[in-house]
Structure 1
């Protein structure tokens, strides 16, 4: 039986990856700060060797706005000490193009993994539906609903990403694999309208022009992968499933 360690196993993505792998009868270890079995804070790496020992594969889903490269360093070193298991990493489309601090660190982690000597697989995806929902639900509390003018997203379902990661974990190291994008490239104005219709709210959607290199990159579509629109779940279907679970 394949033993697979999933970091960030209580998060939106990691939880689903662990569930998918268990249906494939893998021996899954769920690592997170609150895990009952493998409670590890990757920011200091304490207890990581015990979690990694004997694992055939590590699926690295844990992430934080600050310190991802430090956490990855602890994980890579522990993997080397444990006998170089296959390391599967989830990244983001555009980390090599958009001048955002978080993206820069994610790209640095990609390079750390590629240069580590470990067998590895790296999958980049577009933004999750969950992120689009979080953005829109936050700004919908205002009297009007402001969105960055001229910016589109290509949101993808986290369950579909989890399925792809699980399949990659059960295979051999594949290096950088093709990106996984959502089924549609949609303007934020369009997505805002879909959100308002689904929630029954009435707001005027106001496109707002912003400044800066990151905004220019978003307007160019540096975070999109229209040639890899492999997801099937639309934003409307995602919202409907949240309203009517099961």
Structure 2
């Protein structure tokens, strides 16, 4: 069994990765700003060297859509090099980071490049959007009298637990480079999923497909965020909603 550090280990994805790795008998260190074990802010790196020391694998789940991911990755890579024991740096990214010119996606792509050029053994997994994120987007829009959702944008949501399963599997193997993407079982438009969400939550608000502008919107409309050839997820959005409402 290995000593594995999980960054973002108290988050939506990271906490599930931690649980799965511990179930497999690994010694797991939980790192996040809120972790009682290793309370580290990767953006300044204080305490990071001690957390990484002796770790054989690092699973990097921490991410901040508001900024700082590149700096955080730089600190993590430097600490992993200094430790000298890390044989596999596993990074979870997003399908479409090289195809959709969206700010957060561009940052994730830059972090991928940092990982690839780190000199460490690495594994990169790209996944499509989580069901939770789609529900969050629709839920926020549903606070209005009508529900505006981007017209013509398709998504392929996947269960976060299924991505956690795959990351735990990858953490226990040798470095694999960029592995096949993970996509959810269905490709649907956001307005379609919005109507499903509203029906599941008992809301009668109308959904309004809203045309937008810009290169990022065009990239989503082209389907740059999709992985139809890698539809390996099992739980559909409708099944997620039933489980959520139950």
TM range (shorter): over 0.9
For the 8 Å contact 1:60–1:87, the answer to whether it is kept is yes
For the 8 Å contact 1:84–1:119, the answer to whether it is kept is no
Separation in 1, partners of 2:237, 2:122: 31
SS at match of 1:5: strand
Structure 1: gaps of 5 or more residues: none
Count of matched residue pairs: 244
SS at match of 1:102: helix
User: Which residue in 1 is equivalent to 2:194?
Assistant: 192
For the 8 Å contact 2:96–2:105, the answer to whether it is kept is yes
Per-residue deviation at 1:100? 1.3
Per-residue deviation at 1:54? 0.5
CA-to-aligned-CA distance 1:70-102 (integer Å, 9 cap, x gap): 000000000000015110000000111111111
SS at match of 1:12: coil
Separation in 2, partners of 1:158, 1:218: 21
For the 8 Å contact 2:53–2:85, the answer to whether it is kept is no
Separation in 1, partners of 2:212, 2:127: 25
Separation in 2, partners of 1:193, 1:186: 11
* TM score, norm. by length of structure 2: 0.98
SS at match of 1:192: helix
User: Which residue in 2 is equivalent to 1:46?
Assistant: 46
For the 8 Å contact 1:84–1:118, the answer to whether it is kept is no
User: Which residue in 2 is equivalent to 1:223?
Assistant: 225
User: Which residue in 1 is equivalent to 2:123?
Assistant: 121
SS at match of 1:238: helix
For the 8 Å contact 2:127–2:181, the answer to whether it is kept is yes
Separation in 1, partners of 2:104, 2:202: 34
Separation in 1, partners of 2:39, 2:208: 44
Alignment of 1:58-137 (within 5 A): 58-65=58-65, 66-85=67-86, 86-137=88-139
Q: Pick from 233, 236, 244: which aligns with 1:234?
A: 236
Per-residue deviation at 1:236? 1.0
User: Which residue in 1 is equivalent to 2:37?
Assistant: 37
Separation in 1, partners of 2:138, 2:19: 28
Separation in 2, partners of 1:216, 1:151: 9
Separation in 2, partners of 1:35, 1:129: 25
